[in-house]
Amino acid sequence: MRAEFLTIFAWNLAVGVLVVAANAFRSVGTPMGYLVVAVNWVQGALVWGTDSLAIQTGRLEPGLSTALGRSGVYELTAFVAIAVATRGVMVYHQQSGPRWKEKFERVRSPRDWTLSRREATVLLAGIALLAVANYREAVMIAEAVG
C-alpha cells in the first residue's frame, strides 16, 4: 500500500507543479493554472474513468455521499487550493484576445514571486489535502485488491 500511495501522490504532485507552472501565464487576467484544474477534472472524470469521482460504469451515481466517498473531490479541491494560492506567480501576460493570436508579454521575473502568509497556508493545506486524499485512495485500492 505504501508504494501505491507514493505513486499516486507523486503523480498528483506533478499535476500540482504543472498548475503552478501554468499560473506563470495569465491570459486576459485569468491565471492559466485554473485551466489545468478544469482539464484535470474532465480528464479524471470522463476520459480516464478512474472512479475517483462519482462516475461508475458509465453512469453518474446520485447522492452526495457517493461523491464524498471517493477521493477525486478532495484531489480537485486540493488542486483548486494550489491554483488559487499561486495565482500571483505570473511571469507572462496576454493583454487581450483573441487568445490564439495575441502573444504573451513578459511582465515579471520568477524572482518577483512572493507568497503571503495566507497564500502559503492555503498552498500547504492543499498539499496536505492532496496527500490525505491520495492515502485514502491507496487504502481503497488495497482493500479492493486484497
Q: How many domains does the chain have?
A: 1
**83-129 pLDDT, tens digit each:** 999 999 989 998 876 667 788 889 989 888 889 999 999 999 999 99
pTM of the model: 0.80
| Helix (H/G/I), strand (E/B), else coil: 105 | strand
Look-up: residue for cell 462519482?
Answer: 54
Backbone angles phi, psi at 35, to 5 degrees: -65, -40
Residue 19's domain comprises 2-145
**49-77 pLDDT, tens digit each:** 555 544 445 555 555 555 566 677 888 89
Those residues whose C-beta lies under 8 Å from the C-beta of residue 66, and which sit 6 or more positions away, are 54
